[in-house]
Chains A and B, each alone.
Chain A
Amino acid sequence: MDPALRAAASGMRAQQTRQEVIANNLANVNTTGYKRSRANFEDLLYQTVSGPQVIGGPAANTLPAVQIGRGVRLAGVQKDHAQGSIETTQNPTDIAIEGDGFFQIQLPSGQIAYTRDGKLQLSDQGVLVTAEGNPVLPNIRIPAQASALSIGPSGIVSVMRAGSSVPEELGRIELARFTNPAGLMAMGQNMYTATPASGDAMVSFPQDEGTGRLMQGSLEMSNVETVTEMVDMITTMRAYELTSKSIKTSDDMLQIANGLVR
C-alpha cells in the first residue's frame, strides 16, 4: 500500500539476511576448511515518475528523469576462498593445503565433491578417507604392515616397509583447481560440488601449475575473522534499528492521514 513502508520492510529483511550470514560464519569459526560467506545487496527497481524531458528552444536542454527507488534486494551470498590459518596437529593423516586447490572426494553416488578439509583418517582397508568415510582420489591404499606414512609437499605418499630402509612410494595425491572457486556450490559437510559458474575442475599435482602445496600433520582452520564479523554485526544491528524506525514513521504518517477527518 504505502511504498515507503514496503521499501523500509525490504531494508529490514535485507539486514536480517545479513545477520543470518554473519551468524553462520561465527558458528563455523572453528570448522576445519570453512570459508566465510558474505551477503551482497543491490538496490531494487526504480519507479520512473517522469521520464527525461527536453526543454524546447534554441538551445535544447534535457532534464534528467525523476526516479524513486523501491528498496533493496539480496544480490547474492558469496564465499570468500582466502587461505585459512594453518594449525599443526602432528597427526600423520592430517593434511593442510597452502595455496590453491581442493581435495577430490569420491561420494557413494559416484559424484566427485571437493573440499579443503584435510582431517583424514585410514579406513579399515587402509584407504585415506574423510571423516564421513569417503575416499580421497586417487584411492591410495596404505598396506597394513607399513609404518611412517609420509605425504610430501608435492603429494607423493610414501611408507616405510619392514625390512627396508628406503621409503616406498605408493602414489601421488592430486588436487583440483577452479577458475572461479566462489561459484562452487556448498553441499554441507565441508564439501563443494562443481557448477557451470565455477568452471571445470583442473586436476593437477600439488606444486604444479600454481596449485598449492600439501603440509602433512597440519590442518587449515576456517578463514573467519571474528573482529570483522563483530563489526559487521554492529552495523547490521544499527541498520536494522534505522529501517524499523522508518517503518514506524510510515505507520505514524498513515495514522495522521486517517485522522484528517475528525
Chain B
Amino acid sequence: MIQGALESSNVNAIESLTDMIDTVRAYADVQKSISVMDDIRGIAANQIGKPV
C-alpha cells in the first residue's frame, strides 16, 4: 500500500481505438450488404416480369 497515491485506470487507448476502427468498419460493411440486398429485392419486385 502506498499512502497518498491513487491507481489510475488500466485502459489501453490503442487497443480500444483499434477495436473501435474494426467495429465501425464491420458495421459499415454489414450496412452496405443490407442496402445491396434491398436493391436486389427492389429489382426482383419491380423489374422481373416487366414487359420490354
* Subset of 27 A-B contacts with CB under 8 Å: A1-B22, A1-B25, A1-B26, A2-B22, A5-B18, A5-B22, A6-B18, A9-B14, A9-B15, A9-B18, A12-B14, A13-B12, A13-B14, A13-B15, A247-B18, A247-B21, A250-B21, A251-B21, A254-B21, A254-B25, A255-B25, A258-B25, A258-B28, A258-B29, A258-B32, A261-B32, A261-B36
Task: Please name all residues of chain B whose beta carbon is closer than 8 Å to the beta carbon of A13 when the two chains form the complex.
Answer: 12, 14-15
Q: Please tell me the number of chain A residues within 8 Å of chain B, measured between CB atoms.
A: 16
Q: How far is the CB of B14 from chain A (nearest CB, A)?
A: 5
B residues contacting A by CB (< 8 A) are 12, 14-15, 18, 21-22, 25-26, 28-29, 32, 36
Q: How far is the CB of B26 from chain A (nearest CB, A)?
A: 6
C-beta contact mask, A1-37 vs B, less than 8 Å → 1, else 0? 1100110010011001000000000000000000000
- Tell me the number of A-to-B contacts counted with CB atoms below 8 Å: 33
Task: Please name all residues of chain B whose beta carbon is closer than 8 Å to the beta carbon of A254 when the two chains form the complex.
Answer: 21, 25
Closest to A16 in B: B14
- 8 Å CB interface, A231-253 against B: 247, 250-251
Q: How far is the CB of A238 from chain B (nearest CB, A)?
A: 17
Instruction: Check if B21 sits within 8 Å of A5, measured CB to CB.
Output: yes
Q: How far is it, in angstroms, between the C-alpha of A258 and the C-alpha of B22 when the chains are bound?
A: 13
A residues contacting B by CB (< 8 A) are 1-2, 5-6, 9, 12-13, 16, 247, 250-251, 254-255, 258, 261-262
Q: How far is it, in angstroms, between the C-alpha of A250 and the C-alpha of B21 when the chains are bound?
A: 10
Task: Please name all residues of chain A whose beta carbon is closer than 8 Å to the beta carbon of B29 when the two chains form the complex.
Answer: 258
Q: How far is the CB of B4 from chain A (nearest CB, A)?
A: 15
Task: Please name all residues of chain A whose beta carbon is closer than 8 Å to the beta carbon of B22 when the two chains form the complex.
Answer: 1-2, 5
Closest to B31 in A: A258
Closest to B22 in A: A1
Q: How far is it, in angstroms, between the C-alpha of A1 and the C-alpha of B25 when the chains are bound?
A: 10
Task: Please name all residues of chain A whose beta carbon is closer than 8 Å to the beta carbon of B26 when the two chains form the complex.
Answer: 1
Closest to A251 in B: B21
Most buried by A among B25, B28, B29: B25
Task: Please name all residues of chain B whose beta carbon is closer than 8 Å to the beta carbon of A1 when the two chains form the complex.
Answer: 22, 25-26
Q: How far is the CB of A252 from chain B (nearest CB, A)?
A: 11
Q: How far is it, in angstroms, between the C-alpha of A105 and the C-alpha of B12 when the chains are bound?
A: 37
Q: How far is it, in angstroms, between the C-alpha of A133 and the C-alpha of B12 when the chains are bound?
A: 38
Q: How far is it, in angstroms, between the C-alpha of A123 and the C-alpha of B47 when the chains are bound?
A: 97
Closest to B33 in A: A261
Q: Beyond the given A1-B26, A2-B22, please list 6 additional residue pairs across the A-B interface where CB-CB is below 8 A.
A: A1-B25, A5-B21, A9-B18, A13-B12, A254-B25, A262-B36
